[in-house]
Amino acid sequence: MPVENQLDTMNQELSTTSEPCDSLADALREFNPGVDGQFVPLLERYCRLLWEWNETHNLTRHTDFPTFVSRDLLDTIELSQEIARGVRVLDVGSGGGVPGIPLAILRSDLKMALAESIAKKSSVLMDVIRKLGLNVHVYSDRAELVLKKQKFDVVTARAVAPLSKLLTWFDPCWRSIGELLLIKGRKWVDEQAEAEEAGLLRRVRIDVIREWETPGRDGRSVILKLTRQ
């Protein structure tokens, strides 16, 4: 089934579903995002570990399987299709681990790292990654400081900050960034205009490389690819 048709189906099912999903497999059957069955146990384990920690830490508002699949997992799947094999990836402001941890599960070929400056959140990420047995490094530091010492082919960010702030933070770091991939919602056009007005895009090229419907929400999400010119 084409991706566009899968997303239409997911939208319809999200609006009509009334029965709760007790497992990730149930939610995947409802929304059919095309996840290989080999990844399901580890993805479900990740969810349960995250939600357990969420009872004492403010990590995520997405605490059921339908929301995880239709928002977090779908965004991660879309992102995974825009990253080449075997590259070094740094996920910025990882919080509860999306998209970095699901991306590491779906794409074991990637050299994945997470940057989270809030110590209690980075500690949770380390614990979850250890229990999942993933080969993912966690930097308990601001991404700008990590990028002063390390180079990455791809830097990703989702729901971290407006475009203007991200561009300001990363302006001194472009020598360490191959490309910056941002998952953004429908306000990205306004954010781009604001960044343009502030002169932050003079030496930065920005392209929309992927766009998809957001099930259960009014709008579309995009992946913005930013490179230094």
**Is the pLDDT score of 15 beyond 90?**
no
Q: Is 190 helix (H, G, I), strand (E, B) or coil?
A: helix
Total number of domains in the chain: 1
Assign residue 184 the CATH number of its domain: 3.40.50.150
Residue 69 belongs to what domain range? 3-228
205 or 18: which leads in pLDDT: 205
Give the confidence band of 20 by pLDDT, cuts at 50, 70, 90: low
| Across 215-225, average pLDDT | 84
Token pair, residue 216, equals 């259960």
pTM of the model: 0.89
**Is the pLDDT score of 14 beyond 50?**
no
Helices (H), the chain: 3-16, 24-31, 40-54, 65-67, 74-80, 100-106, 119-132, 143-149, 163-170, 188-197
pLDDT at residue 30, rounded to an integer: 87
Please write the tens of the pLDDT for every residue from 153-208.
999 999 899 999 999 999 999 999 999 999 999 899 999 999 999 999 999 999 99
